[in-house]
A = this chain, B = another copy of it.
């Protein structure tokens, strides 16, 4: 796998060489790499080529770089496992529970898979005209007023951002309950599904669309990742019992510390129900 590829570019070979050193422990976790200048001298390459190698290593998640300090072997990131399937079902069940109970098992914590109280939350509300891509999903006219809620969530223990994104609701639909337009009411005990229940909406199913891409510069900054790392994009579409799309969330998560988990139960062959 990491053989002697004679016909490779120098920077790719250097990256592979360093990756091997890291994987077999010759460069242990947390230890500093030689500086770019040193590597250049050691391997007889210009700094530009060394930097190309470093770009690969950072993308692979093997190396972290602190500006002004140096490059370090990254300890494998603890991934936040987001058990989407179970989490959605729990959130719906929770809607029917009393408020003190909803308060205890915050929807946000379920969402991220982190222990209770471990998630720091930030929300901003505003209103936007539905762009075509959203109007199409909601089945409404482009330009219809939407309530847009921007979320930032981060892990309290290390301050690392976990996800950021937008949740969209049709403004005039949720305006029936003015509390839903009030950012001061967030985080709402029981989450969005409970919010929707206050205006008589029961969510019937949730469709998650998952894609991946490199981060836009702004996302890289907000999520605290660098250019070379991927992001997981989740578009979560909630559909009510009438088949109407009631919420669309567009969520961006750092690819190097996120894992989305979906469970599909399969009907038994011998089951009669």
Give residues 130-155 of A contacting B (CB, 8 Å): none
Question: Could you tell me the distance between the alpha carbons of A210 and B231 in the complex, rounded to whole angstroms?
Answer: 12
Interface window among A110-118, A158-166, A174-182, A212-220: A212-220
Among A95, A203, A205, A263, max chain B CB count under 10 A is at A263
Chain A residues in the interface with B (C-beta under 8 A): 12, 48, 56, 59-61, 79, 81, 84-85, 88-89, 92-93, 95-96, 202-214, 216-217, 227-232, 241, 255-256, 258-269, 273
27 contacts between A and B (CB under 8 A): A56-B217, A59-B227, A89-B267, A92-B269, A95-B269, A202-B268, A202-B269, A205-B264, A205-B266, A206-B263, A207-B262, A208-B261, A208-B262, A208-B263, A208-B264, A209-B259, A209-B261, A210-B210, A210-B232, A211-B258, A212-B255, A214-B214, A214-B228, A214-B229, A230-B231, A262-B262, A273-B273
